[in-house]
Amino acid sequence: MLKLPEYMGPLAFGVKMGLIVPGMDIVETVFEQLVHCHRDGLLGEGDIICITESVVARAQNNYVTTADVAREVKEKLQLAPESRLGLVFPIASRNRFALVLRGLSLALPRGEVIVQFSFPSDEVGNQVIDPDFARSLGRDLLTLEDLGGQEFPHPVTEIDYIRYYQKIIREAGATPRIILCNDPRRILDYEPDAVIAADIHSRARTCAAISTQHPRCITLDQLCNSGAIYSEWGLLGSNISAGEKIKLAPREGPQVVTALQRKVQEKLGVAVEVMIYGDGAYCDPTTGIYELADPQPAVAATAGLNRFREGIKYKYLADQYYLEEGKSVAEVERLLQEQKENPPGGEGGEACEGTTPRRMEDVVASLADLVSGSSDAGTPLVVVKGF
């Protein structure tokens, strides 16, 4: 079994798996690759096995259609063909929201879909309108008339999401209305029959604000969250697929990771942790886009990852012992090792200053997402060692 040399820290590598198609047993498919890793000395005690949510959902055949979405939203919100539906704070995304929007709009062939964007950007940093232009208007609510026909292409995708979402709604047969406002309650000025809080991370707060004044408000995770094809996350974390299909996030994630963990222990005699990961939780400094369009970085994780990662402030203590107290290098190294093995309790004082505790599953999922990438690397399985 490969043992990392003492001079090495954490290590993560991607494992190629080939094509994953609906109907495959994802636990068995991943296990087969881990057998190869184990044979080659690349799998050991305490390793973390990370599987991207995309292949898990695909193996589960976890797809709905836009017609399914239309049918469910009509039933859950008691919508008639001519009803008026409000969508508050959707993200500006072709991959994540375009087909969801089409499905919702199909429910209202003679009705109206009112989209309320936050501005100047959505909650994950996608620019909706130019910030300087928005600031120059000095208003808290903007309509298309206020925008004066100007186009606002996204700085990366070059898509004008205001016009794009209008087009999707029209093609589904409904009438679009677009407003921009950061107060979710302003959607009620347009008298919707029902409202969907379409944001991701702030959905509960958005829905609560609207629900105090409107009896019919739900969030995206309350759609497609039951039935024959479903995800516990509903439409959150869904992705565009082929044709009119929408791929949901995986279902029964805790059962999947636990089953794989048990199989590796029983068949290979190795104790590992397992997670299903989605988007990493980091902000791109160039574009300002917060990559986390999934509800959280880890869709599911085994129990050992459900804790915070924290420790001593290594750099601070090294400077304190060596520069301020004049201790030798050997003494400093001994003291640092003692601090690591017996970290200070409570808040830790200066020894832990600046070491913000982070959830293990969030950090590891972000690492796995960066290693696997999102294009054609073909490594939906990532092994993390020494973490």
| Separation between Cα atoms, residue 72 and residue 74, nearest integer Å | 5
Q: Are residues 103 and 137 in the same domain?
A: yes
326 or 332: which carries more pLDDT confidence?
A: 326
SS3 252: coil
Q: Say yes or no: 330 and 190 in one domain.
A: no
Bridge-based pairing of strands 217-219 and 194-197 is parallel
**Is residue 228 located within the same domain as residue 331?**
no
pLDDT of 303 over the 80 cut:
yes
Is residue 370 a part of any domain in this protein? yes
Range of the domain at 374: 14-62+251-309+357-385
What is the per-residue pLDDT for 344? 56
Give dist(CA 86, CA 366) in Å, integer: 33
57 and 68 housed in the same domain? no
- Tens digit of each residue's pLDDT (9 = 90 or more) over 278-291: 998 888 888 888 88
Token representation of residue 75: 């039933």
Assigned domain for 2 exists: no
| Pairing between β-strand 308-309 and β-strand 298-301 as defined by DSSP bridges | unpaired
Indicate whether 256 belongs to any domain: yes
- 219: Cβ contacts below 8 Å, ≥ 6 apart: 196, 197, 198, 203, 204, 206, 207, 234, 236
Tokens of residue 133, six digits: 């232009």
Residue 354's pLDDT is 46
Query: CA geometry: angle at 324 spanning 320 and 328, to 5°?
Result: 80
Are residues 224 and 101 part of one domain? Answer: yes
Classify residue 173 by burial, with Cβ atoms within 10 Å: 0-12, 13-18, 19+: middle
pLDDT given at position 5: 78
Task: Reduce the DSSP state of residue 50 to 3 states and report it.
Answer: strand
For residue range 37-90, what is the model confidence (pLDDT) as tens digits?
Answer: 999 999 999 999 999 999 999 999 999 999 999 999 999 999 999 999 999 999
Same domain, 46 and 69: no
What are the C-alpha distances in Å from 39 to residues 30, 48, 97, 263? 14, 17, 42, 16
Helix (H, G, I), strand (E, B) or coil at 246: strand
| 89/117 same-domain check | yes
DSSP states of 345-374: STT-GGGGTT---EEHHHHHHHHHHHHH-S
3 Cα distance to chain centroid: 33
pTM for the whole thing? 0.86
28, two tokens? 């068995």
Would you say residue 99 has pLDDT above 50? yes
Looking up residue 120, the CATH number of its domain turns out to be 3.40.50
Residue that is last in its domain, among 247, 265, 300: 247
1 lies in some domain: no
Q: What is the mean pLDDT of residues 198-217?
A: 96
Check whether residue 340 and residue 289 sit in a common domain: no
Report helix angle 66-77 to 98-106, nearest 10: 60
Q: Which of 223, 247, 271 is the last residue of a domain?
A: 247
Mean pLDDT (whole number) for 251-273:
97
Between 375 and 258, name the one with better pLDDT. 258
pLDDT above 90 for 181? yes
Interval 20-46 mean pLDDT: 95
